[in-house]
């Protein structure tokens, strides 16, 4: 089983559309996911979300 720890956010526009990204590699290739990033030592979780959006 593949596990992945990260931080993800939900972004919905004025029309109710959910922002997604299409995975382009690994075990989840061609699947949709929420935008996010892997947690790295020394990075603040709130800063990762701010940088992503």
In this predicted structure, what is the pLDDT of residue 50?
Answer: 60
Determine contact, residues 13/19, Cβ cutoff 8 Å: yes
Tell me: the pLDDT tens digits for 2-20? Answer: 666 777 888 888 999 999 9
Could you tell me if residue 51 is left (phi over 0), alpha (psi between -120 and 50 degrees) or otherwise beta? alpha
Tell me: the pLDDT tens digits for 24-42? Answer: 988 889 999 988 877 777 7
In this predicted structure, what is the pLDDT of residue 24?
Answer: 92
Domain limits at 11? Answer: 6-52
Give the whole-angstrom CA distance, residue 20 versus residue 16: 13
Residue 1 inside a domain? The answer is no
Whole-number CA gyration radius for the chain: 13
Q: How many domains does the chain have?
A: 1
Is residue 15 packed enough to be buried (19+ CB in 10 Å), middle (13-18) or exposed (0-12)?
A: exposed
Residue 15 inside a domain? The answer is yes
């Amino acid at each position: 089983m593949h596990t992945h720890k990260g931080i993800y956010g939900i972004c919905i526009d004025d029309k109710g559309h959910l922002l997604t990204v299409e995975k382009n590699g690994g075990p989840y290739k061609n699947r949709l996911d929420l935008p996010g990033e892997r947690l790295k030592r020394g990075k603040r979780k709130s800063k990762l979300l701010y940088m992503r959006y």
